[in-house]
Structure 1
């Protein structure tokens, strides 16, 4: 009969009103606070180094500078949450931008249709990546390394390695600004923030979002529950392609040209933003808003170092150190968990 009696410890837990979660459990996890702390420390440091850093206009400039990488990083986050990686994102974005601008200028296509064609090219590369990963069972690293080079070659051949200029206004509209509280905010920045809000909700509150996390956590267990892991992965790579297409449009709008040499560092910048934002490279763990913070950290560091007159070579060096530290922290926390 003793097995039917509650233990004294369980009696202590069930008697009276529930005390609720402890303060320790109500507080955010340190891993989720890491990007916030890093961003605050960076802002504090650079505020002492330059009087211009804390100006509202400078923060608006930082947001404008990170809007392209930040948008790419949304798609990269989805891929990394499934324990994959996409090295082709930057060059796919560049190809999408060249397709948009060439069709709208040289081919005389309606600008909106040209934008749609450029985005379809990006989605097609996402589909190709997804099929090679799910059907041929190739590692995502190898697949996207190959498609990165393919996208680069097509971009150079299609553009003749020439910058496309004299763009119609629909392709440059997102480069305009709107006044908010006396501060000029780029339309592209508003779009990027809106995309983050949308995808944060999708990942947190929808079934497809939960499936993305489940595949990253344990694909075999997810498959045994009846979820098609291949369909989830294919969808992730295609949706990532959509964001690369949007980033292509933002890049064109920001520079007012179609640049065949764009996208050569955006892949690493996007991965850096995702990792700095706390998303695990092993999949299944991370927050999209953390990616936004990661992109801002990269932007703040480069902006602050520029204001300090530090050479761009050292900016790349510091970014590399940051991403190594972030990955090392992720590995240590995973082992501890």
Structure 2
């Protein structure tokens, strides 16, 4: 008796074979994405930051993420150029860093990015002349005191948001970049925000979110323009971090301290042009993008309206005092 063996796929309908094939492709892509996420967050070694140069320049270095970045860069053996608007705070931070890392050379530049940009940028150019500035951390930025509708944003706040978050970052980068080009090496980190990238609509913070969207696009363009010149440009996109600007005092699993964020940020420096360095934030990112946009909008609006109400109550109490 002659036996005939049929291939399993030939006994199934064509539509079922297509579904199985598409399912296999989807499973492979999902598995690859998960493995990539695990690698970049937990296995991939950080770059040797000192290869970019011996000096790092940090804006907004007297508080929060900027201050934490300064400490971490000193820990990596880099000398520092610290920029801040308050001379007393600058000196305090410098003293703290020197006491912990005595070999670190530090230069302070008093510069309010909401003030005279030409004068401040000129001061930066003078200080960095002849220095091997390999890392630039554009961290300085301002947000709303609390959530508010666009028509409630006064002229001074509107002007400062655009001047500090857009023009300030652009002008500081313009001052530091030529030296990196000359040496054919460097790394620029622009601190963006989930308000512009991760969360589809950060309601009641319209101008702030728009300025951070500029930072993202600015960074992406510079990344492409200068990646063949030895310069790595990156926009880091954090969600909530326990800082004064975020009005969050305590850190948690999903809300890192400034130091916790800075440690993660340096691990990602020099890699992808846009990243969310603190890995629990990327879990929130994935969740938000899996939800319908109208659901996220509704949640954000309700959340921000509560922040607005608390802010207005605080303002009214101040007026009554």
Mark yes or no: TM-score above 0.5: no
Q: Highest Rg: 1 or 2?
A: 2
More helix by share: 1
Structure with the bigger percentage of strand:
2
Q: TM-score, normalised by structure 2?
A: 0.27
